[in-house]
Structure 1
Amino acid sequence: MMTAMAAMLVFTAACGNNGGNEASTGNNGNGSATNAPATEKPAEQADKKLSGEIKVDGSSTVFPLTEAAAEEFRAVQPDVRVPVGVSGTGGGFKQFCAGEIAIADASRPIKDEEAAKCKEAGIAFTELSVAFDGLSVVVSKENDFIDHLTVEELNKIFKTGSTVTKWSDVREGWPAEDIVMFSPGADSGTYDYFNEAILDKEGIRNENISFSEDDNTLVVGISGSKYGIGYFGYAYYEENQDKLKVVPIDGGNGAVEPTYETIKDGSYAPLSRPLFIYVSNKEMERPEVSEFVNFYINNIGSMAGEVGYVALPDEQYAEQAAKLK
């Protein structure tokens, strides 16, 4: 038995020396390549388990996208926490430019005055487009008289200074019932976009209207009022189609209903819009932030449709990824 064990030790040592020679020379001794696994990575390139917290806040419209990305990222890096808030686009930029969060969700581009505050605070950032959205005008399922609305009629309903109070004031033949309005709050990028695209920046009226930064609150209010009307991102309409009716909008070329196709090709005008995330360049120096943002951009296209948004063309995602380099 001892003789056999000694023989085995000699054999094992010989194999170990031969393996070491092949590893160090990169070949099998006669100049041909060894059969090392193709997936083997140098130590510095090996996947690392990361940890930490990445704070995100801002647009309630972009929230479903970022939440989806955070959930998928958790499967890859379970020790990285990504809490996502919904204080509205404006509220998100306030925190972002104060250095309180790493990423701001935004349903509109950053304003000049917001960018100036970031600059004053020494916060450089990168703007990344993540998907398209179609801001959707909705009414209750009980509403049986609205078939479409023009941009002019939306102005009669929502614009500050308007004297229109009843549906019969909007279009002849409609009921003489009070219009009950619902709108995202002034900190919302959706509010800003609607004000700019529909109301020529003149502002939304304050009488007989309910404001909320929470789109789910708006859903409850609109669906519960036969004569109510409001607007928010397409994802919230799609999620609540059983309670709400979407209103086709005539921007001058006929009434168009928001769908994946009309949002993507721009025919749902003027309410198709791009969505963004803004990332602090300093925060990107943290490996967990860099990893998450790259994951977001490289994967959000496949997630967008699942949460009610329209993915950008592949070449646009490639352009966003190039910004991160």
Structure 2
Amino acid sequence: MKHTLSAALVGATLLAASQGAFARDLVKIDGSSTVFPITEAMAEEFQIAEKGKTMVTVGISGTGGGFKKFCRGETDISNASRPIKDSERKLCAENGIEFIELPAALDALTVVINPKNDWVKHLNVEDLKKAWEPAAQGKVMTWKQMNPAFPDRPLKLFGPGTDSGTYDYFLEAIVEGKSSRGDFTASEDDNIIVQGVSNDVDALGFFGLAYYEENQGKLKAVPISWKGSEPVEPSVDNAKNATYQPLSRPIFIYVNKKSADEKPHVERFVNFYTSLEHAPALVKEVGYVPLPDKAYKLAQENFKQRRTGSVFHGAEVGVGIEELLARTPK
């Protein structure tokens, strides 16, 4: 059962309302719209398993917006489609928030075009950089300006908003910087991007693999070539075997250590979220790539030992999940 974002949100809201009269414990989550479908599915199944004892609320304010709330101590868990930034770590530290960084799944950030686009067979990272870098604003306005092999048609760009971890990761992987052109249609709701690209033959956009798979009838995914490689399509298998680069990435949940220590229902939810019994099937069900079994076991051990901090050293692209989990958080 695959959910659209809006349907999932409605489902979560109705479930919470139906259980609200009986719930004694609350798990508060906010953050990434990319991670939301996974966490929403986990929340639904966990609430059923808890038989009404615990209610889980899941908000969508983007990775950056989620970290702002998390680092102020307003949530127990933050969904994140990129690693925590140094500025966010500083905010957490200032507020006495220790966090445990846990991978939730793998994702293949997917570049999409309109199905009637008949001139794009694949794109190079260089093409994408030329279209999205800050210097492109007001200058690279046609497909031909992005790549001379393409027709002289308007280039209409759609992407996540600047509070999105997907936006941040795309910049690091493609533009190799912290900013992009500003003259594109931005939205924290990936369904808006779906609508924009599916309704305009000249459009190009990007978001997580799950949203493409949910809307395959309306969109066409673009194979990507990196560093002279053969173009590779975004897919579950290509994310898992790390051939789809540089746009394959882990996505995360961050757990407030105090919440895990002092709220048994938060600890139970995180154990449920990372268990081999539940996680791989639910992650796959909503269109993402499950972690390797070894990675789930490492994540469970990191949570059990309450290993706080992040394994990332600044912005990193193309690093394997098992390598990351084997590092010591700092």
Deviation for aligned residue 1:83? 1.2
Alpha-carbon distance in 1 for matches of 2:208, 2:287: 9
Deviation for aligned residue 1:173? 4.1
Q: State the one-letter code of the partner of 1:145.
A: W
Alpha-carbon distance in 2 for matches of 1:160, 1:300: 39
Q: 2:205 aligns with which of 230, 237, 241?
A: 230
1:199 lines up with 2:175 in the alignment = yes
Alpha-carbon distance in 1 for matches of 2:303, 2:140: 49
Q: CA RMSD in A?
A: 1.2
Matched-pair contact (CA < 8 Å) for 1:50–1:287: no
Equivalent pairs counted in the alignment come to: 276
Residue of structure 2 equivalent to 1:264 = 240
Unaligned runs of 5+ in 2: 1-21, 305-330
Unaligned runs of 5+ in 1: 1-48
Matched-pair contact (CA < 8 Å) for 1:130–1:312: yes
SS of equivalent to 2:58: coil
Aligned pairs for 1:118-137 within 5 A: 118-137=92-111
Alpha-carbon distance in 2 for matches of 1:51, 1:215: 33
Cα deviation, 1:162-216, whole Å, max 9, x if unaligned, reads 2211111222342211100001011100000000010011521012x10000101
Residue of structure 2 equivalent to 1:278 = 254
Residue of structure 1 equivalent to 2:28 = 55
1:287 lines up with 2:264 in the alignment = yes
Aligned pairs for 1:1-325 within 5 A: 51-77=24-50, 78-162=52-136, 163-207=139-183, 209-252=184-227, 253-284=229-260, 285-298=262-275, 299-325=278-304
Cα deviation, 1:128-182, whole Å, max 9, x if unaligned, reads 0111000000011121111100010001111111221111122234221110000
SS of equivalent to 1:230: strand
Alpha-carbon distance in 1 for matches of 2:148, 2:161: 30
Q: State the one-letter code of the partner of 2:165.
A: G
Alpha-carbon distance in 1 for matches of 2:61, 2:205: 19
SS of equivalent to 2:254: strand
Alpha-carbon distance in 1 for matches of 2:24, 2:100: 23
Matched-pair contact (CA < 8 Å) for 1:159–1:202: no
Alpha-carbon distance in 1 for matches of 2:178, 2:69: 27
Alpha-carbon distance in 2 for matches of 1:278, 1:143: 39
Cα deviation, 1:69-109, whole Å, max 9, x if unaligned, reads 00110111123111111111000000000111110000111
Alpha-carbon distance in 2 for matches of 1:96, 1:52: 18
Q: State the one-letter code of the partner of 1:124.
A: E
Structure showing greater Rg: 1
Residue of structure 1 equivalent to 2:312 = none
Deviation for aligned residue 1:113? 1.1
TM-score, scaled to structure 2: 0.82
Residue of structure 1 equivalent to 2:317 = none
SS of equivalent to 1:198: helix
Residue of structure 2 equivalent to 1:26 = none
Alpha-carbon distance in 2 for matches of 1:172, 1:93: 41
Matched-pair contact (CA < 8 Å) for 1:160–1:202: no
Cα deviation, 1:257-295, whole Å, max 9, x if unaligned, reads 011111001100000000110000111120111111111
Alpha-carbon distance in 2 for matches of 1:151, 1:200: 11
Cα deviation, 1:45-87, whole Å, max 9, x if unaligned, reads xxxx973111111111100110110011011112311111111
Query: In the superposition, relative to structure 1, how do residues 72 and 220 fare at CA in structure 2: closer, same or farther (>3 Å)?
Result: same
SS of equivalent to 1:147: coil
